Amino acid sequence: VGEQRHWFGEDDVCWPTKVQTKVFNRGGKANPDQPAKVMINHNRYGCTQGEVRDVLGETADKKSWVLQGGRQVPKSHEHSGWARIQPES
């Protein structure tokens, strides 16, 4: 019984390096279509109805907005799941 031997040495084995993925675009060239704030119309996306959240940026695939707190709302759900809040002038 004892220590089991393998045909490969410790130098032959390595863990894969962690690839860091870009979650969302925050900065750089601003998207003119990006709302400043959104209001959630229904209890979805991990938010409650009527909740207002700041928009931080968009996902790397440009299909969703990233909200404060890390929540995401799909751009295609505008008017049905969430609405833009017009900035007060």
DSSP, residue by residue, 33-72 = T--SEEEE-SS-TT--TT-EEEEEEEETTSSEEEETTS-E
Q: pLDDT tens, 15-33?
A: 777 765 555 665 555 678 8
- At 44, list the tokens: 């979805």
Q: Residue 2: which pLDDT band, with cuts at 50, 70 and 90?
A: low
pTM greater than the 0.85 cutoff = no
DSSP string, 14-33: -PPPPPPPP-EE-SSSPPTT
Give me the mean pLDDT over the 62-87 stretch.
92
Q: What are phi and psi of 77, to 5 degrees?
A: -95, 10
Give me the pLDDT at residue 87, please. Answer: 75
Give me the mean pLDDT over the 29-58 stretch.
90
Q: Residue 78: which pLDDT band, with cuts at 50, 70 and 90?
A: very high
Q: How far apart are CA 76 and CA 89, in angstroms?
A: 27
